[in-house]
Structure 1
Amino acid sequence: MNAPEPTPAGEDTFISHLVELRSRVMRAGAAVFIVFIGLVYWAPDIFRLLVRPLLVNLPEDGKMIVLDVTGSFFVPIKVTLLVALLIALPFVLYQLWAFIAPGLYQHEKRLVMPLVGSSYALFLSGMALAYFFVFPAIFRLMAHYNEPLGVQMATDIDHYLSFALNLFLAFGIAFEVPIVVVLLVRMGVLTLSKLKQIRPYIIVGAFIIAAIVTPPDVLSQFLLAVPLIVLYEIGLLAARFLVVAKKPAAELL
């Protein structure tokens, strides 16, 4: 009887990585599912909380509607699943970090956890700005705009969810600007002086991005462009103190 041929070491390593990746993905998925199961009973309340900025700014005859037969059931479930993902996101990111950590240097490992924590906090801050300030401002403006036209404002809940997700993503990603600036300087892609030189282009770009991702009104564009510019300046300060200040003077020349 012939003995089985030995498996190449590279193939064993690749398979072990796949097994570990599957394990990490399953743990992350299980965490999201557990949080979702804990929240699903309150799915209607979570949905009402999401649409509250619109409801409080609708005129007396304004209301939300359902165009799809199953929309009133599945839309709150989608919202609850997204909330569960947001709550479980730190654990999901930890699983990702645990998978890639063995391939990182020690100084890179020390950077990952503060980077992940600050990115998560900034993303939540961007969502909070959109929910508490941008949503009410947009809906109040739209309600007053529709009134003289004699148009009844009735929004489909599925369309509202898409609108809310787009703005949440836009403001959440926008708030990651300081992280991007610090990484660009830390990795040597751009110097701090170069980032200061391109400041006028960043200001123009902020208003262009705001015009693309926000509704076509000046107020919402302004509410995104100004934080983008402020966050860019914060990123410059953070890069100066966290990255540049640690380098010898000879490296800064």
Structure 2
Amino acid sequence: MAKASSDPNEMSFLDHLEELRWHLIRSTIAIVLIGLVAFVMKDFIFDTVIFGPKKPDFPTYGVFCKLSKLLGFSEAFCSNEPIFTVQSRQMAEQFSAHIWTSIWAGFIIGFPYILYEMWKFISPGLYDKERNNSRGFIFIASSLFFMGVLFGYYVVAPLSINFLGGYSVSDEIVREIDLSSYISTVRAAVIACGLIFELPIIIFFLTKVGLVTPEILRKYRKIALVIVLIISAVITPPDVASQIIVAVPVLILYQISIYISKVVIRREAKKQNKNVKSS
């Protein structure tokens, strides 16, 4: 995929490192600037976004409540009372949470620009045809990431918060969750799902470099199914409905990845045939 160029003006390894450094610096500046906006919008970020999934009137709980009643499962999502309170027990905990939450907000919102900077660094090493065929990379990768973020926020985070926040081993225990623990649960669900939804893009590039084929993906599909179900069981409440809700989108992404890998292999085969005929 990299160009083998004999151009005497071609950049050296150190020049590439310098170029990469500036791309990283610009990405960091973008994250910081967006993070500053998020820092100022403290009330919206925390009261509406971060603490949204713990409120009984969060829209996801209404949907889950109706589904639970329809399917005859537990009606744990139908509660009208908060299942726990969030507390801060360390002097600098709230300030630290404010700063880091703003930085992560900067990363999530600035993700398309980060991809753009990565693409500017990689694209000079591609052939013109490869560059043209990858024009939609930033849009597709960003769309998948934001779809994963929304899925994590509206599905995985509420499922995890509802189960873990309401789980009890004894009535003697008061449910008072530390602020850092609560935020890390929401953050992990959102970021993890955002990255998991990049699976088709990852498979595309792994197929391009010859590390993955459709046959390999089909061969290990059952193993992938088991892994997905295990992950679903870990991050969701221990009931079949919740696990299916999380597992199905990931399995769909896996199937889409097989199709993408198949298309890439087919295109590479056509390209090789054309090269053979022309020679």
TM normalised by structure 2 equals 0.72
Q: 1:148 to 1:90 in 2, by over 3 A?
A: same
Residues 241, 221 of structure 1: alpha-carbon distance in 2 compared, 3 angstrom cutoff: same
Partner of 1:6: none
Pairwise CA distance, 1:148: 7.9
1:24 equivalent to 2:45? Answer no
User: 1:108 deviation in Å?
Assistant: 3.2
Is 1:101 the counterpart of 2:123 in the alignment?
yes
Gap regions ≥5 residues in structure 1: 1-8
Q: Which residue of 1 aligns with 2:69?
A: none
Q: Secondary structure at the match of 1:217?
A: coil
- The CA distance in 2 between the partners of 1:166 and 1:235, in whole Å, is 24
Distance across 2 between alignment mates of 1:194 and 1:90? 31
Q: 2:32: which partner in 1?
A: 33
Alignment match, 2:144:
122
From 143, 154, 157, the equivalent of 1:132 is: 154
User: Quick check: 1:130–1:167 contact (8 Å CA) kept in 2?
Assistant: yes
Give the drift of 1:158. Answer: 0.6
Structure 2 regions of 5+ residues with no counterpart?
1-7, 57-78, 274-279
- The 1-side partners of 2:37 and 2:191 are apart by 24
Q: Which residue of 1 is the match for residue 67 of structure 2?
A: none
SS state of the match for residue 136, structure 2? helix
Distance 1:174 1:95, change over 3 A: closer
Distance 2:272 2:14 in 1: 46
Q: 1:107 to 1:211 in 2, by over 3 A?
A: farther
Any conservation in 2 of the 1:46–1:76 contact (CA below 8 Å)?
no
Query: What is the identity, as a one-letter code, of the residue corresponding to 1:174?
Result: I
Contact 2:148 2:196 in 1 (8 A): yes
- After TM superposition, the score normalised by the length of structure 1 is 0.78
Cα displacement string for residues 186-226 of structure 1 (whole angstroms, at most 9, x for unaligned residues): 433333234223322221122233345x2563465444332
For each residue in 1:167-194, what CA deviation from the matched residue of structure 2 results, as whole angstroms up to 9, or x when unmatched? Answer: 2232222212222333343433333234
- Aligned runs of 1:1-253 on 2, under 5 Å? 13-48=12-47, 49-56=49-56, 59-60=81-82, 62-142=84-164, 145-146=167-168, 149=171, 151-212=173-234, 214=235, 217-218=238-239, 221-241=243-263, 243-244=265-266, 247-248=269-270
Separation (CA, whole Å) in 2 of partners of 1:153 and 1:55? 15
Q: Contact 1:36–1:81 at 8 Å: present in 2 too? A: yes
Q: Deviation per CA, 1:94-132, whole angstroms, max 9, x where unpaired?
A: 222222322222233235443333222212211211211
Distance 1:100 1:245 in 2: 21
**Structure 1 residues 5-47: Cα deviation after superposition (integer angstroms, max 9, x where no partner):** xxxx89x834433433333232222222222223321123202
Q: Alignment RMSD, CA only?
A: 3.2
Given that 2:145 and 2:195 are in contact with CA atoms closer than 8 Å, whether structure 1 keeps it comes out as yes
The 1:195–1:143 alpha-carbon spacing in structure 2 relative to 1, beyond 3 Å, is closer
Displacement of 1:145 in angstroms is 4.0
The 10-residue stretch of structure 1 (161-170 or 217-226) with the greater mean CA deviation from structure 2 = 217-226
- The DSSP-based 3-state class of the residue aligned with 1:152 is coil
What is the match of residue 4 of structure 1?
none
User: Which letter maps to 1:51?
Assistant: F
CA separation of 1:243 and 1:147: change in aligned 2, threshold 3 A: same
Provide the rounded CA distance (Å) in 2 between the counterparts of 1:226 and 1:131. 16
Deviation at 1:66, TM superposition (A): 0.4
Residues 155 and 246, structure 2, Cα contact 8 Å, conserved in 1: no
- State the SS of the aligned residue for 1:68: coil
